[in-house]
Amino acid sequence: MSRRIVLLPGDGIGPEVVAATTKVLDAVGDFTYEEHLIGGAAIDATGTALPDETLAACRDADAVLLGAVGGPKWDSTDPGRPRPEQGLLGIRKGMELFANLRPVRPLTALLDASPLKRERIEGTDLVVVRELTGGMYFGRKERTADSALDENAYTRAEVERIARVAFRAARRKVTNVDKMNVLEVSRFWREVVLDVHAREFADVPLDHLLVDNASMQLINAPSEFDVILTDNMFGDILSDEAAMITGSIGMLPSASLGEEGRPGLFEPVHGSAPDIAGKGIANPLATILSGALLLRHGLGLSDEADAVESAVDRALERGLRTPDLGGDATTDQATQAVLEQL
Ligand code: NAD
């Protein structure tokens, strides 16, 4: 039976990299696609960044593939204007995607593209598990002429379920990252993580780092990490920092998951790259690799996911380089190079 994938191309390079990815998915399986609006494109067409019918279609799908949203056209400091990012926050909340997984694994062929020394990053294979629907980004907001407030709150249930995702994803250990020396919410977070660990995952090694130290260790010794478990805001920052280990943000995929049996959302870590949109030179590999995560975590097709990932590895080994990696391959040429290896 053909599996139903909802496509949310979004803005900027989003449509270019999503189109590249459906070509790759079609080479490994039989899928039907349904395209819907999100972000700036949705604001232009409907006045809102996340139309109801988009959310309904996503909840109904087997999996969702997203490009990126946003761009200067919709930038505004007026809190009353709709913003493309509301589409992202809204869909995460609406699909109850509380866990964001960002694998960071520098590909051998790209070791020298990283701003870090080769010997420092060799052997890195980590996953940032970020809580995605709680904390400061979703807390109560207040604004007066002279002050502003973003509330940072977590419930026990929210911390427990993200901790479970992290412990299940662990191969060697889990490193919990918080700021418990300063924040009450972090002291609570750590207490709940320790509790879940003791009750359900006592056999998984667990350590803890304060977020400031973690941000240094990630550069100093990235290969020491396996699973990094952290909250919404710290995870946002640390996963972009981890992104630089691979040398290009154009390489990093992500998976956002909810409760088991519900559709997940798969998207590249990068944004809509307005500076290169429409030029046909966007690196499609982060989205193609997100397609691999979709196959594995979204549809349970592990062999197909492995095939896509190793085709990307081989294409790079044979010299594929888009401009962000120092080469001159176009989006189409990069897609063809991956297809040839499948
Ligand atoms: P960005 O990731 O869009 O771009 C940062 C830099 O990386 C740019 O120079 C861009 O050209 C380059 N880049 C990004 N993806 C690339 C790719 N696939 N191939 C080659 N080069 C690539 O981040 P930004 O410039 O901070 O944000 C641009 C817009 O995207 C903003 O409106 C922002 O809000 C939005 N954004 C969206 C998401 C998302 O949809 N998930 C994430 C981050 C930013």
How far away, in angstroms, is 184 Cα from ligand 1 center? 33
How far away, in angstroms, is 88 Cα from ligand 1 center? 14
pLDDT over threshold 90, residue 105:
no
1-98+259-342 has which fold?
Isopropylmalate Dehydrogenase (3.40.718)
pLDDT over threshold 80, residue 39:
yes
Which residue, judged by its Cα, is nearest atom 12 of ligand 1?
Answer: 273
Give me the mean pLDDT over the 305-334 stretch: 94
pLDDT over threshold 90, residue 292:
yes
Which residue, judged by its Cα, is nearest atom 13 of ligand 1?
Answer: 273
Alpha-carbon span 184 to 132, nearest angstrom = 19
All CATH 3.40.718.10 domain ranges of the chain, comma separated, are 1-98+259-342, 115-246
Contact 136, 233 (CB under 8 A): yes
Confidence at 251, pLDDT banded by 50, 70, 90? confident
Position in ligand 1 atom list of the atom nearest CA 72: 32
Judge if the beta carbon of residue 280 lies within 6 A of ligand 1.
no
Confidence at 259, pLDDT banded by 50, 70, 90? confident
Judge if the beta carbon of residue 179 lies within 6 A of ligand 1.
no
pLDDT over threshold 90, residue 338:
yes
pLDDT over threshold 80, residue 112:
no
How far away, in angstroms, is 270 Cα from ligand 1 center? 5
Q: What integer best gives the mean pLDDT of the chain?
A: 94
Judge if the beta carbon of residue 282 lies within 6 A of ligand 1.
yes
Annotation marks residue 275 as catalytic: no
Residue identified by tokens 């009750």 is 199
Q: Mind listing the pLDDT tens digit for each residue in 140-165?
A: 999 999 999 999 999 999 999 999 99
Annotation marks residue 141 as catalytic: no
Task: Give the mutation target among 272, 287, 288 for probing the ligand 1 site: most ligand atoms within 8 A of CB.
Answer: 272
Contact 49, 70 (CB under 8 A): no
How far away, in angstroms, is 10 Cα from ligand 1 center? 12
CATH 3.40.718.10 fits 115-246, yes or no: yes
Query: 93: buried, middle or exposed (CB in 10 Å: 19+, 13-18, 0-12)?
Result: middle
